[in-house]
Amino acid sequence: MASGEEDAAVEEKETNNKKRTKSAIATAWLTIYNIAMTAGWMVLAVAMIRFYLHKGTHKGLYKSISRTLKFFQTLALLEIGHCAIGIVRTSVIVTGVQVSSRIFMVWFITNSIRQIQNEESVILFVVVWTLTEITRYSFYTFKLLKHLPYFIKWARYNLFIVMYPLGVVGELVTIYSALPYVRRSGMYSLRLPNKYNVSFDYYYFLIIVMLSYIPLFPQLFLHMLRQRRRVLHGEVIVEKDE
């Protein structure tokens, strides 16, 4: 009997050691990831400031930063994997929607339709994204390091009140500006007849995307407001760790 109890104790100890090792590896990886993403978006911010100070105009700004923007925004796909394997405690679906919508704006709207790249709305959402991501990734970095400055925490749970609506306005106006070019070019559309016997109109798809903001924006914004209230009142919440 004693031998059986000892074996069980050894097995439990080994299991706990494995869990601690996995946790340490996950924490190290998330720390590296968030530091890299913070640095990437800061590089983007500096590049935008330097461009504007040198040129004195926003025209051509998007083209000058597009590679950096596409790289770091696409790298955020890793966050879906983090949720899927359980090292970050948040919904895979929610994270997937958030990341995919950003990548869609970058690759299938702004990058694909060069005629709109100098629109003020493009600069608006890029600036908003940059400020938001610098705050978000630095928040998670300091949190993982267990040394979270108050001003970072304050920025994380207050700036979105202004930034989130501004970002949505920038995205919607950008999509709206793209509609005439999409309609004329027929890009990404599939007309009948074809061998797949399927029809797809990218123009109407973009209209549906714009309409989807009506139900989604209030839900996500109210969710952030609830998180803000809980944090400011010192309540324990489960939120995205990266």
Q: Which residues are catalytic?
A: 164, 171
Spatial CA neighbour of 73 closest among 119, 143, 130, 29: 130
Burial of 218 (0-12, 13-18, 19+ CB in 10 A): exposed
What is the SS3 assignment for 7-42?
Answer: HHHHHHHHHHHHHHHHHHHHHHHHHHHHHHHHHHHH
- Cβ neighbors of 184 (< 8 A, separation 6 or more) are none
Backbone angles phi, psi at 200, to 5 degrees: -145, 125
